[in-house]
Structures are given as C-alpha cells and as structure tokens.
Structure 1
C-alpha cells in the first residue's frame, strides 16, 4: 500500500520515524519535506505534497499534540485532508480528532482513527 504522511512540519522528526516504521512493515511511504519559508517556496512545497497525496492509496495524518491541543490538525493539514477527501482516498488519523473550530469539517471527511495502531490501516 502507498501512504502519504501529513502533519505539521513541527513534527518532522516524528514523521520521519513513522515513515521508517511503516516502510519496515512493507508500506511505500512519502511525506512532506521541510520547505523554503518564502511564499514561492511554500507554494512549491504544497504542490509537491499534493502530488504525493494524488500518488498514494491513502493518507495518514500524524496529529500529535501541539499548542496544548491534543490531536492537533492545522491549516495546511486540513487542506491536505480536503484534497485526499476530494480524491476519494481513505484518511487515517493517528490520534482522535481535536476539539477545534473546524471539527465538523474533519468529521465530514470521515477519517478513521487508528489510535497509534498501524495495523488498522487497510
């Protein structure tokens, strides 16, 4: 199975560690790279990551705690989830949906919460 990992770049160490774990389990994995902070660099990084989502069979959202919000999902990750939803890719969340203002939008995409169990990705 081909998976694209999504999540805040603040979690880049965790993203790389999860990618290695998933690869050892036989998954083919792509994930975001730390991008140039300029507007042009950000635009290019978004487009490249969208291509990874299009390539994948499913996306896994690595929603760790950030800013004292358990299961944090920020703006970029929400946009990536929206693309996956539009492309009819299964969306998996590592942790529960956070209590945030756009929780209903996340629920509408019907993500599957795996509670840290990669075996639930099918």
Structure 2
C-alpha cells in the first residue's frame, strides 16, 4: 500500500523509523519534506512560515496524499498534549477524508475537545502502535 506519513515535524525522527518499519513489510512510503538547516522551533515562526510558503510545502504534501491510498498520522506526545494532532495534520486528515483515503493513527486520538467531533468523523483506524494492523 502507498502511505503518506503525516504529523508534527517535531516527530521527524519517528517518521524515519516508521518509514523503515513500513517499507520492511512491503509498503511504499511518502513523507513530509524536512527542510535541512532550518531549526523549526528556534524563533517566532517566521522562518517556518517562509519555508512553507516559498517551498510550497503544504501543497506538495497534499499532492502526496492524493497519490497515496492511505495516510498514517504519527501522533505522539508533544509538550503537554498526549497523542498530539496539530493544525496541519488536522488539515491533512480532513483532506484525506475528502479524497476517500484510509486514515490510520499510531496512537489513540488526543483529548483536544475543540476538534474531537471532527477527528471522530474522519473515522481513523487507531493502531495503538501496531503497524501490522495497516490493511
């Protein structure tokens, strides 16, 4: 299956681990672009915003979702939010749902009340860390 990994770029190292694990069992994996030389979290967000706009990162990632059969949301703990799903990932999940793609999450959905209904409406398959459940 062709799968696009989605999630906070804070988890890029985990994306690489997931990619290896998925490829080892025969999946083709597409990933978000990690901008080398950019400390994503060092400033007020200006560099991050300019990279996203200048490189067309959001559109390129949505194109990968279009090309895939499924997305895998790498939702790990970020700060004090367990199983974090941020704004871009939420957008990607909505887009995947609109494009009728399967949606898998590594961990259960987060307790983020302001998006609970929408997340549930996307009907993700929660893997509880077990990628062998991807079918």
TM-score after normalising by structure 2: 0.86
1:41 aligns with 2:51: yes
Matches of 2:24 and 2:133 in 1, distance apart? 16
User: Structure 1 unaligned runs (5+)?
Assistant: none
- Cα separation, partners in 2 of 1:38 and 1:68, compared to 1, 3 Å: closer
Q: How many residues align?
A: 122
Instruction: Identify the match of residue 66 of structure 1 among 69, 78, 81.
Output: 78
Q: 5 Å matches for 1:65-104? A: 65-100=77-112, 101-104=114-117
1:107 aligns with 2:107: no
Q: What's the counterpart of residue 31 of structure 1?
A: 31
Q: Which has the larger radius of gyration?
A: 2
Aligned-pair CA distance for 1:95: 0.3
Where has structure 1 moved over 6 Å in runs of 4 or more?
none
Matches of 2:50 and 2:79 in 1, distance apart? 27
Q: What's the counterpart of residue 120 of structure 1?
A: 133
Aligned-pair CA distance for 1:38: 5.0
